[in-house]
A = this chain, B = another copy of it.
């Protein structure tokens, strides 16, 4: 169950500085189906700022737990995944969140998994990293590798949420139009465009190829075709009315 796996992730913020960032983290977690937030040594957290940025995730913020040290915050976790922008000794075996996601979800199906994020100013220390069994490095341009704390949490949560397969993209409610329906529509346009004098019979097939190309570039739904048929019908009505007023011959 992907839902259960997401419930087993704990987001651990080590010594976060800005309340606004903690609130933004809550919102991002809520967007991506995560709910377990632990803070390690939050330094004089501005809870008002946090609540403002948490928006509808205020419950998650209120349910946060605070720990005196990282060891306590992750003591019941199997995998402990650290995030680090810097590379260096003992930081080389990192992978991207997308690479880790399947293995982390797998581990979260049978135990708790901690995602550990460092303070805004310096990131995780080597002492913090010693607790981590895995390292995540988030893709970014080499010119600017330091991400906002809540952005880092959002990208990790997003990759887990997408990999969990819980998201169902919106579907077109109207089914794709059939070839037969499309041809009825093109026949109506052909007649309408002849009637208003946009083209003559000998050029009609050629001109219609242009419209077929424009409307064939992406699939039309039945709703789309109904709109276009409505326009053709009214155009035809209009052209016939002009014809009948002017007598036989072309209008305009």
Q: Please state the number of chain copies in the assembly.
A: 2
Contact between A139 and B154, CB atoms less than 8 A apart: no
Q: Is A27's CB within 8 Å of the partner chain B?
A: yes
Tell me the complex Cα distance, A96–B158, Å: 12
Checking B31, B92, B94, B144 against A31 with a beta-carbon cut-off of 8 angstroms, the contacting residue is B144
Which residue of chain B lies nearest to A151 when distances are taken between CB atoms in the complex?
B154
Q: Is A79's CB within 8 Å of the partner chain B?
A: no
Q: Is A146's CB within 8 Å of the partner chain B?
A: yes
Please classify how large the interface on chain A is, using the bins under 10, 10 to 19, 20 to 34, 35 or more: 35 or more
Checking B32, B53, B139, B166 against A167 with a beta-carbon cut-off of 8 angstroms, the contacting residue is B139
Which residues on B sit within 8 Å (CB–CB) of A162? 98, 139
Contact between B98 and A137, CB atoms less than 8 A apart: no
The segment out of A168-176, A228-236, A242-250 that lies at the interface is A168-176
Q: Is A155's CB within 8 Å of the partner chain B?
A: yes
Contact between B151 and A31, CB atoms less than 8 A apart: yes
Tell me the complex Cα distance, A30–B146, Å: 10
Which residues on B sit within 8 Å (CB–CB) of A99? 169
Tell me the complex Cα distance, A172–B32, Å: 31
Contact between A148 and B27, CB atoms less than 8 A apart: yes
Checking B31, B139, B144 against A147 with a beta-carbon cut-off of 8 angstroms, the contacting residue is B31
State the Cβ distance, A176 to closest chain B Cβ, in Å.
Answer: 12
Q: Is A140's CB within 8 Å of the partner chain B?
A: yes
Flag A152-166 by CB within 8 Å of B: 1 or 0 each.
Answer: 001100100110001
Given known contacts A92-B172, A98-B162, what 16 new A-B pairs fall within 8 Å (CB)?
A20-B20, A24-B148, A27-B144, A27-B148, A31-B151, A53-B148, A55-B148, A56-B144, A56-B146, A57-B144, A87-B170, A94-B170, A95-B169, A96-B169, A139-B161, A139-B169
Binding site for B on A (CB under 8 A): 20, 24, 27-28, 30-33, 53, 55-57, 87, 91-96, 98-99, 137, 139-141, 143-148, 150-151, 154-155, 158, 161-162, 166-167, 169-173
